[in-house]
Structure 1
Amino acid sequence: MLVNVRGLPGGQSFKFLIVLLALTGLAACRTNKLNTTAAVLKVDSSKAKITWQQRREYIFNNRQLIFSNKFASARFSAITQQNDSTFKIDVLPENEPVNPSPWYAFKVWSAIGRNVYITLNYPTTKHRYNPKVSVNGKQWQDVLPVSIAKDERQASFKIKAGTDTLTVSAQEIISSADSYRWMDSIAESGNLNKQVTGHSLMGKPITMLTSKGSNGKKLVVVLSRQHPPEVTGYMAMQEFVRTVTANTTMAIKFREQYQLLLWPMLNPDGVDEGNWRHSAAGVDLNRDWENFVQPETKAVQQAVLNIVKQQNAKVYFTLDFHSTYYDIFYINQLQNPSASNLPGFTVEWLDAMKKSIPGFSPQIKPSGNGGNVSKSWFSRKLGAEALTYEVGDNTSRNLLKLKGRIAAEEMMKKLMADN
């Protein structure tokens, strides 16, 4: 029995081939090779430890109604027809154990306009993301209402299917290809260089954007999309990056003092496979910032250390964008604050954000910097002020963009004033 109506705002299994890929062939976007990148990449399929989806079209009602997961970021595990218009879709993770971030995405179309009734079934977890729909992949609308079972292991809703393909997804879909195109677009401003610093397990570029104009002695690092479903964090990162790379007087002056090192898409494999949290290796990348076993995190580590050494530079601030149920800032609690390159900066920056955004009171959670997440490594190894910014799943898109912009503006003001 389904209760508690909520309306929150808002193929086949395969094995990898072991191939040798030239870097120029891998990067569809224009890139300059950083000297940390090997000339030839080996894709090691033995390290892939996830359950692959059966990607195909699922045909019902004498080919009158079709579901598909044959696209980047799609995910569902099985679909069962209950009657001519009602379907159950099982949502299972790439591997376990895994955090409860049950991502799903599929397409549906029909020979005639009809109502289609869908129940999302979660055998191993509870419902988290209310569905969104889009006919063009750009504009998305919330599906309302959504009925949630008492144990929250099923969620049911109705969509209108027709000849135009409708995409149904847990959040807006931003694939790795979308991200690479976005990086191209902001690099065209002339204020950024673009480099491939490594490759994912499946051979996709781990791309870094670097700003121009400074002597390269003072660095700010921005990371995003370590966890595939965390789209709101990615959106806030986009607005942050747009602001610090713009041709405004403030941003130009800031880039004369500080060099930006930006990695917008750290887990392209997980994003494109529709993973709940992990990489193609079945690993949480934001728990690999101590041993650096995974190629994605290792690519960032090596690039940052080389830049610091070659340019005799310091990392002053690192901001890693994520998403969770609500906005929260995880900051480092240092036993010796003087070990920071800019003591007290993070708290003062958050206070400035609070004063600049009406009604905003940041939830701040300090933790020690001895862990294996990005903020801990940047603090412990490089003395950076570093934090994880978790953007709420259901934060309005206008508000998260505002927060991204204000975060960038207050960072620039504070860093230029302090140095």
Structure 2
Amino acid sequence: MSSTPTPIPASIAINAAFDGGNIKIVAIDGDRIDLEIVRDHQSDFYQWFYFRVAGAKGRKLSFRILNAGDSAYPLGWPDYKARVSTDRETWRQTPARYAGGVLEFDWTGETDLVWFAYFAPYTMEQHDALIARMALKPGMTHRQLGTTIDGRAIDCLTIGRGPKQAWLYARQHPGESMAEWWMEGALERLTDTTDPVTAELLSKATFHVVPNMNPDGTFRGHLRTNAVGVNLNREWHEPSLERSPEVLCVRNAMDASGVDFAMDVHGDEAIAANFIAGFEGIPSWTDALGEKFYDFGRRLAVNTPDFQTELGYGKAAPGHANLSMSTNQVAERFGALSMTLEMPFKDHDANADVEFGWSAERSKKLAHSCLEVLAEVIDTL
């Protein structure tokens, strides 16, 4: 008489050795897994994580990120929910707990493989696919503006025939992956040949779109810096080939075209809302240009419930703007309507989504709203 042997649970295997991956295994004790996030190379910044778990099926796993409390933005962890996917396409929230500097979350495995990330990733493979797809669209021109320290391309896509020069750029901070999802949404809208908003914009403006300014940091799984630990959004006053070739080539291209409108797209760890930051405090500040910035925000809040103007960053005092930051430098250098768009890692709490939180899809839709508002104000630039 034979009996069916009891299945032996698969051993747990953690891996982050892939495009955009970041995690370090501290210990695996049964179904409890202790981890640490790896610092950006030559930097103390860290917060982005992205890893795969094999052997999860049929187990209730408990994950602990032990060094969360010393991360770049520990205020980002309270009320945060990790993102989880079993197919790397759909990313849902999973509840997390933060106490004593440790971030914890659980997962009951229905599949052998599962991926966890700080936010829905946008890898370099996805970036390359986006560039290849968009470069073939009617009216689109592709330029390689320069290369990174690791030798990767800085891609720029240009479309439109109007005299106004609009620059859209993202991922100076590579861990802010929602920014490139926003870029995908913007490019899809700008290449929609049936859309009347797009037609109006392209007749009045030429768009220069840099979807990813920090390919090295993206591939390496960094939060905030490039291959040599440099925060690109503190390099705009004096970029160099040695430290920040990414900024140097983009700023040189801006100098060649001029800039009337600029949006630098980011993500914010702590504030559970979408908002824009401006250029208060630049030496050449005028109330007239400042009003155009405030008007853009008010219009965007009317356009979509996924934007608000109450929460955001403080304003620099007159004459005290940090000109090493792109929004300030571009406003001062070109007299442009320049702004930083910040999206949350948590959720836009005024219009929250329990299952997905702030998501890739909502980031793309917000890009559509931003372009619709730009169409309303383009004649005033």
Please indicate, yes or no, whether the TM-score normalized by the shorter chain is above 0.5. yes
Which of 178, 184, 199 is the aligned partner of 2:126?
Answer: 178
Which of 271, 293, 301 is the aligned partner of 2:251?
Answer: 301
Tell me, yes or no, if the aligned pair for 2:176 and 2:223 is still in contact at 8 Å.
no
Cα drift, residue 97 of structure 1: 5.8
1-structure distance, mates of 2:308, 2:117 = 30
**C-alpha spacing 1:261/1:122, structure 2 compared with 1 (3 Å):** same
Equivalent residue, structure 2, for 1:133: 84
Equivalent residue, structure 2, for 1:246: 192
Which of 325, 342, 366 is the aligned partner of 1:390?
Answer: 342
2-structure distance, mates of 1:299, 1:331 = 23
Tell me, yes or no, if the aligned pair for 2:164 and 2:260 is still in contact at 8 Å.
yes
Q: Which amino acid aligns with 1:118?
A: F
2-structure distance, mates of 1:254, 1:147 = 45
Q: Which amino acid aligns with 1:418?
A: T
Which of 367, 371, 377 is the aligned partner of 1:408?
Answer: 371
Matched residue of 2:34: which SS? strand
**Cα distance per residue 1:293-338 (max 9 Å; x no partner):** 21111111122223x2xxxxx3111000001122332101245445
Greater Cα shift, 294-303 or 113-122: 113-122
Kindly indicate whether residue 28 of structure 2 is the aligned counterpart of residue 81 of structure 1: yes
Equivalent residue, structure 1, for 2:17: 70
Structure 1 residue ranges (4+ consecutive) displaced by more than 6 angstroms after TM superposition: none
1-structure distance, mates of 2:28, 2:304 = 48
Which of 90, 109, 114 is the aligned partner of 2:59?
Answer: 114
Kindly indicate whether residue 215 of structure 2 is the aligned counterpart of residue 268 of structure 1: yes
Cα drift, residue 356 of structure 1: 2.1
Matched residue of 2:226: which SS? coil
Equivalent residue, structure 2, for 1:319: 263
1-structure distance, mates of 2:368, 2:222 = 29
1-structure distance, mates of 2:118, 2:41 = 19
Aligned residues: 344
5+ residue gaps in structure 2? 1-7, 348-357
1-structure distance, mates of 2:345, 2:306 = 19
Cα drift, residue 228 of structure 1: 1.6
**Cα distance per residue 1:54-91 (max 9 Å; x no partner):** xxxxxxx9973221112111111333122x22111112
Kindly indicate whether residue 150 of structure 2 is the aligned counterpart of residue 205 of structure 1: no
Tell me, yes or no, if the aligned pair for 1:109 and 1:162 is still in contact at 8 Å.
no
- The residue correspondences of 1:10-409 to structure 2 (distance < 5 A) are 64-82=11-29, 84-95=30-41, 98=44, 102-110=47-55, 113-122=58-67, 124-125=70-71, 126=74, 128=77, 130-144=81-95, 146-149=96-99, 151=100, 153-161=101-109, 164-214=112-162, 217-247=163-193, 248-293=195-240, 294-306=244-256, 308=257, 314-324=258-268, 325-326=270-271, 327-333=274-280, 334-337=282-285, 344-358=291-305, 360-362=307-309, 363=311, 365-367=314-316, 368-395=320-347, 396-397=358-359, 399-409=362-372
Matched residue of 2:142: which SS? strand
Q: Whose strand fraction is larger, Structure 1's or Structure 2's?
A: 1
Alpha carbon RMSD of aligned pairs, Å? Answer: 2.6
**Cα distance per residue 1:193-227 (max 9 Å; x no partner):** 1111111111111000000433xx42000110111
Q: Which amino acid aligns with 1:253?
A: E
Q: Which amino acid aligns with 2:330?
A: F
Matched residue of 2:209: which SS? strand
Equivalent residue, structure 1, for 2:355: none
Cα drift, residue 163 of structure 1: 5.9
**Cα distance per residue 1:142-195 (max 9 Å; x no partner):** 123x2322x2x1122222346642111111111122112112223332131111
Tell me, yes or no, if the aligned pair for 1:109 and 1:161 is still in contact at 8 Å.
no
Greater Cα shift, 252-261 or 162-171: 162-171
Cα drift, residue 400 of structure 1: 3.9
Cα drift, residue 262 of structure 1: 0.7
Greater Cα shift, 230-239 or 64-73: 230-239
Equivalent residue, structure 1, for 2:353: none
Tell me, yes or no, if the aligned pair for 2:41 and 2:228 is still in contact at 8 Å.
no
Greater Cα shift, 90-99 or 375-384: 90-99
**C-alpha spacing 1:77/1:250, structure 2 compared with 1 (3 Å):** same
Tell me, yes or no, if the aligned pair for 2:56 and 2:114 is still in contact at 8 Å.
no
Tell me, yes or no, if the aligned pair for 2:182 and 2:363 is still in contact at 8 Å.
yes
Tell me, yes or no, if the aligned pair for 2:200 and 2:375 is still in contact at 8 Å.
no
- Identity across matched positions, percent: 18
**C-alpha spacing 1:147/1:401, structure 2 compared with 1 (3 Å):** same
Matched residue of 1:143: which SS? strand
Tell me, yes or no, if the aligned pair for 1:73 and 1:273 is still in contact at 8 Å.
yes
**C-alpha spacing 1:241/1:405, structure 2 compared with 1 (3 Å):** same
2-structure distance, mates of 1:393, 1:103 = 10
